[in-house]
Chains A and B, each alone.
Chain A
């Protein structure tokens, strides 16, 4: 990928992926979904999930699945507020970039 994904953007992507599942989702599935949009090593996501959990943006719960306990992640109220902030900020940011790019094209 040409562009870096910074910590804030990665947080935003993870929050968005997790918030897509109202009942919560689990680490492997989150990783696969994030990997569909950005190139990310499989070892990167655990620290991000753990930090978001410590920050109170995500909560975890264990649910029985196929004879074993699976850990599920769910977005909290704080996480939802944080995600909304990231999204509105992203729209502002990308709109500015777009105007620059389009303006640049016009001058050519």
Chain B
């Protein structure tokens, strides 16, 4: 296999990596061959390994940090990346604190105790990054095992919510009906009062008065219900929607 064949095969093997990364790697190895010189071509090919191995190393490098692993003199090792990241992070800190190592060494007297503290701090940090696979699995198992319980609770809550809604709606309807009846009765009483007025003015007047009072009450009830339907019902629905969203969001955060 010569250089051209090697690079062609490598390009093929890298067809599934992002174009920018592929171009970068191809340029690097083209440069590498150029700099090694034509006389070292076969030596370089021999020491780079097969194109498959090289493509594997490049792809593993792309996942580096995400999947965890490191490059050492023996190539790619499946080894927790966190140690290096810790040093990188400490490096970021050092630019703010000037020199955490001198501080730490001064505090701990450069003893092994100081070192152990540093190591503990380093171990504790990655755990905060997110839940481990075990924790997630545990939550899923608990959720499945308690399925009958939380389905029952959810059903009960749903039932209560529907009952409340129906009750409120019935009350609305009842008030509306009462209001309409009041108005109807008041109209009838008004007419009756007017007729009575001819024969017995006092009784007629009081009947008309009662009719007007009833009319007012009826109007008030109808107006209240109309206002309630226009204002309160949408507010109620908004409230319910917000509540449901809150519950689902909390559920999402837990999963």
Which residues of A line the B interface, CB within 8 A? Answer: 1, 4-8, 10-11, 26-29, 31, 38-44, 46-51, 55, 68, 70-71, 78, 81-82, 85-86, 88-89, 92
List the B side residues contacting A40 at CB < 8 Å.
73
A42-B47 contact given A7-B84, A47-B57, A47-B61, CB 8 Å threshold = yes
CB atoms of A44 and B71 under 8 A apart: yes
- Number of inter-chain CB pairs below 8 Å: 111
Beta-carbon contact of B27 and A44 below 8 Å: no
Tell me the chain B residues, 59-95 only, with Cβ under 8 Å from chain A: 60-62, 64-65, 70-76, 79, 81, 83-84, 87-88, 90-91, 94-95
Chain B residues near A70 (CB-CB < 8 A): 31, 34-35
Query: With A7-B71, A85-B101 in contact, is A41–B49 under 8 Å at CB?
Result: yes
Q: Do B65 and A46 have beta carbons less than 8 Å apart? A: no
A31 to B48, CA, bound (A): 12
B110 touches A47 (CB 8 A): no
Q: A10-B73, A27-B32, A42-B32 are in contact. List 17 more A-B contacts (CB 8 A).
A: A5-B73, A26-B31, A31-B32, A41-B48, A41-B75, A42-B48, A43-B49, A44-B71, A46-B25, A47-B58, A51-B65, A71-B27, A78-B95, A81-B95, A82-B88, A85-B101, A86-B87
In whole angstroms, how far apart are the Cα atoms of A71 and B74 in the complex? 25
The closest CB in chain A to the CB of B69 belongs to A7
Q: Which of B28, B57, B76, B99 has a CB less than 8 Å from the CB of A27?
A: B28
A85 contact from B64, B75, B94, Cβ within 8 A = B94
Number of interface residues of B (CB under 8 A): 44
How long is the Cα–Cα vector from A31 to B44 in the complex, in angstroms?
11
Residues of B at the A interface (CB closer than 8 Å) are 24-25, 27-29, 31-32, 34-36, 44, 47-49, 53-54, 57-58, 60-62, 64-65, 70-76, 79, 81, 83-84, 87-88, 90-91, 94-95, 99, 101, 105, 110
- Chain B nearest Cβ from A103, distance in angstroms: 13
| Contact of B34 with A41 in the complex, beta carbons under 8 Å | no
Q: Are A11 and B28 in contact (CB under 8 A)?
A: no
